[in-house]
């Protein structure tokens, strides 16, 4: 498993991506049987200042926030505080009497949106687009961003109650679409727990797991460790990117009123490894138990029906996967475009942060970078293939 040849291949592959201006820098960690077997960092966290990526570099997680949010919901579920078939409107009044946009018409939902719809992204909520649901959602996200630094920012519950009044793209459960479901779940956790969402995560996940650099913002003493974000400049190079996105402040320099359960966290590779190892170890890490094994089994299973899966299959790079509880789950290796492991699960973020847990091999793959519009990149797949080809 990962001999000198494979280790050299990983280092050379990452360096080639940096030299070709595909990314500015990144760090990579492989954990096997609960122990770190490889860590490597290369490139720059700040090209303008010449600062290198380091082990304690802090990254904007964006959608790698989503698995954390799913785990938070599971904590409340196994305590009997949430039933997944309960309507979202039980917790958030804005989700009463929802409507679906069909062309220029609005029609009442056939049934209420449930918590389970949010976990499986079968809620009808989207991130944007040209239809009515997309336009109304984009307008709300822009309002969250425009007010975040002012006198009256929208809080998590208030913002999501507003979202509940936006048109849905389809009837809950009817199909699948990637969208703001995880943000709503953050507000549900806040409503059920009686605590701010960030406070709940800190008390229930981050502090018990020793995730000392994970949260929704950074105090001044940590801001110099936040990696810069880069984007393709259209001429084969990279340009600095400083834009806010999805209601999340790019600078991460103040405690936000809106704590995005779908995109808002920052973290380090070591911190996120603690979370990933906890899941792979059936809910425990050391002497700390976050979730029970049966809960983790449910959390890491796919749950789309045939109609929903058909929509998910349109995401070409996710071929061979299904989706459940805010994560991809490998379901058909023959259709995948990567080397993979049966039952592996994980997710990635808008700026390229990525994790995968492979239960059969007891292996975690973690990759951290900051490049606009990345998700699962070519470099991520190349690095994965080196590792997964060597793990049997």
- Taken in order of first residue, the domains within the chain and their CATH numbers are 4-73+198-388 (3.40.710.10), 82-193 (no CATH)
The C-alpha atoms of residue 8 and residue 112 are separated, in whole angstroms, by 53
Percentage of the chain exceeding pLDDT 70: 100
Q: What is the pLDDT of residue 382?
A: 98
Contact 318, 63 (CB under 8 A): no
Contact 331, 338 (CB under 8 A): no
β-pair partners for 364: 31, 357
Neighbouring C-beta atoms of residue 207, cutoff 10 Å: 13
Tens-digit pLDDT profile for residues 120-161: 999 999 999 999 999 999 999 999 999 998 999 999 999 999
Q: Residue 58 — φ and ψ, nearest 5°?
A: -105, 135
Contact 338, 388 (CB under 8 A): yes
Tens-digit pLDDT profile for residues 182-236: 999 999 999 999 999 999 999 999 999 999 999 999 999 999 999 999 999 999 9
pLDDT above 90 for 391 = no
β-pair partners for 58: 226
Q: What is the pLDDT of residue 302?
A: 85
pLDDT above 90 for 103 = no
Percentage of the chain exceeding pLDDT 90: 97
The C-alpha atoms of residue 171 and residue 6 are separated, in whole angstroms, by 48
Specify the DSSP element, H or E, that contains 241: strand 238-241
HSE, side-chain direction, 13 A CA sphere, residue 175:
11
Positions of E strands within 15-61:
25-32, 35-46, 51-52, 59-60
Residues in CB range of 286: below 8 A, 6 or more apart: none
Positions of E strands within 103-237:
105-108, 229-232
CA neighbor of 271 nearest in space, from 347, 211, 217, 352: 211
pLDDT above 70 for 330 = yes
Secondary structure class of 31 (helix, strand, coil): strand
Tens-digit pLDDT profile for residues 18-71: 999 999 999 999 999 999 999 999 999 999 999 999 999 999 999 999 999 999
Q: What is the pLDDT of residue 257?
A: 98
pLDDT bracket for residue 1 (50, 70, 90): confident
pLDDT above 80 for 392 = no
Mean pLDDT computed over every residue of the chain: 97
The C-alpha atoms of residue 26 and residue 42 are separated, in whole angstroms, by 6
Mean pLDDT of 304-332: 96
Q: What is the dihedral of CA 146, 152, 157, 159, to 10 degrees?
A: -30
Query: What are the strands of the beta sheet with 321-324, ordered from one edge?
Result: 51-52, 35-46, 25-32, 363-368, 354-358, 345-348, 327-330, 321-324
pLDDT bracket for residue 375 (50, 70, 90): confident
Q: What is the pLDDT of residue 170?
A: 98
pLDDT above 80 for 76 = yes
Burial state string for 347-369 with b = 16 or more CB within 10 A and e = fewer than 16: bbbbbbbbbbbbbebbbbbbbbb
């Amino acid at each position: 498993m990962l001999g000198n040849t494979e280790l050299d291949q990983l280092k050379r592959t990452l360096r080639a991506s940096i030299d070709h201006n595909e990314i500015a820098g990144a760090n990579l960690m492989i954990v096997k049987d609960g122990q770190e077997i490889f860590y490597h960092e290369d490139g720059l966290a700040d090209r303008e200042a010449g600062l290198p990526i380091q082990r304690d570099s802090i990254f904007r997680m964006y959608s790698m926030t989503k698995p954390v949010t799913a785990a938070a919901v599971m904590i409340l579920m196994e305590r009997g505080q949430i039933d997944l078939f309960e309507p979202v409107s039980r917790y958030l009044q804005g989700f009463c009497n929802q409507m679906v946009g069909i062309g220029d018409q609005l029609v009442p939902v056939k049934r209420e949106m449930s918590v389970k719809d949010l976990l499986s992204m079968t809620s009808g909520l989207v991130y944007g687009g040209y239809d009515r649901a997309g336009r109304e959602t984009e307008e709300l996200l822009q309002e969250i961003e425009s007010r975040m630094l002012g006198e009256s920012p929208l809080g998590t519950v208030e913002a999501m109650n507003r979202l509940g009044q936006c048109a849905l793209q389809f009837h809950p459960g009817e199909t699948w679409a990637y969208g703001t479901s995880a943000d709503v779940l953050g507000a549900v956790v806040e409503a059920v727990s009686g605590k701010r969402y960030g406070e709940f995560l800190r008390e229930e996940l981050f502090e018990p797991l020793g995730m000392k650099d994970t949260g929704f913002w950074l105090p001044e003493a940590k801001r110099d460790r936040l990696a810069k974000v880069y984007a393709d400049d259209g001429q084969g190079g990279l340009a600095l990117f400083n834009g806010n996105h999805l209601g999340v402040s790019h600078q991460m320099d103040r405690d936000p009123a809106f704590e995005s359960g779908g995109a808002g966290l920052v973290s380090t590779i070591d911190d996120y490894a603690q979370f990933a190892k906890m899941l792979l170890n059936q809910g425990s890490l050391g002497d700390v138990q976050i979730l029970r094994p049966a809960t983790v089994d449910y959390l890491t299973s796919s749950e789309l029906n045939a109609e929903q899966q058909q929509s998910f299959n349109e995401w070409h790079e996710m071929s061979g996967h299904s989706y459940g509880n805010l994560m991809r789950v490998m379901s058909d290796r023959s259709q995948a475009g990567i080397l993979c492991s049966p039952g592996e699960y994980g997710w990635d973020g808008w700026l390229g942060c990525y994790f995968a847990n492979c239960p059969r091999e007891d292996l975690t793959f973690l990759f951290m970078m900051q490049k606009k519009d990345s998700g699962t990149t070519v470099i991520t797949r190349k690095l994965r293939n080196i590792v997964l080809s060597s793990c049997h």
